[in-house]
Structure 1
């Protein structure tokens, strides 16, 4: 009888724990392994955590990552839709990286946890795309 693979550990960490090329490079992650992940800037400063994912149900692609910034113990933070292509995975640190300074969040379009923008109302997402300088369909590939 062989040993059973512990998929829960792999899914929770986003890393495969066996094989000669385990998760190198990372190509697929479960939504549950992304939600809650830490986000840092290029200087290694904490920018918050991934609160949720916005998926385009027509294309199946993640359009936006909902980033929680400025909270302390889950209180007082604001949420920001960030085009998924603006993030890249740092698999060594097991976090995502966003090329923005902390003070950029003062001018970034955001929303309150209790007042999400209507997902089919394009005005908020148009503001997000204008802020980031591109539509969600034309982001960078890492």
Structure 2
């Protein structure tokens, strides 16, 4: 594996994003990034699948959230989001193949108040 030294750069290797902490508007840690979902045609990151709750991986829940809802915060050394716990709880229900369901994607992007990545 190639080890990117991204110090002083605006780019980052995806393997360094996985496991990065996510913080709410109040600077409280709310979860971590489990993995990224990338659109094969455009190459754009579409979702960060975040893990929330649980202990040592037991009882964790994973939620795909639009990548545009995250901003890297150098002070925290992690990503910040304005997504609330209530928004996560009320997110559109999804099946195992949610990433193949454009209707679900439309509802999810609308739920989080951001334009869809394909527009």
Coarse TM-score class (shorter-chain normalised):
0.7 to 0.9
Per-residue Cα deviation, 1:75-129 (whole angstroms, up to 9, x for no partner): 1121111111110001222100011233332112366xxx632422223322211
> In the comparison of the two structures, how many residue pairs are matched?
118
The residue number in structure 1 matching 2:104 is 124
Which of structure 1's runs of 4+ aligned residues deviate more than 4 A? none
The residue number in structure 2 matching 1:4 is none
* C-alpha deviation, 1:67, in angstroms: 0.8
Contact 1:87 1:97 in 2 (8 A): yes
> How do 1:1-142 residues align onto structure 2 when only pairs under 5 Å count?
8=3, 10=5, 15-16=6-7, 22-23=8-9, 27-109=10-92, 116-137=96-117
Query: Gaps spanning 5+ residues in structure 1: where?
Result: 1-6, 17-21
Distance 2:114 2:90 in 1: 17
Contact 1:64 1:136 in 2 (8 A): no
Distance 1:28 1:110 in 2: 33
The TM-score, its normalising length taken from structure 1, stands at 0.71
Distance 2:20 2:76 in 1: 11
Q: How much is the aligned-residue C-alpha RMSD, in angstroms?
A: 2.4
Query: Gaps spanning 5+ residues in structure 2: where?
Result: none
Contact 2:106 2:116 in 1 (8 A): no
* C-alpha deviation, 1:69, in angstroms: 1.2
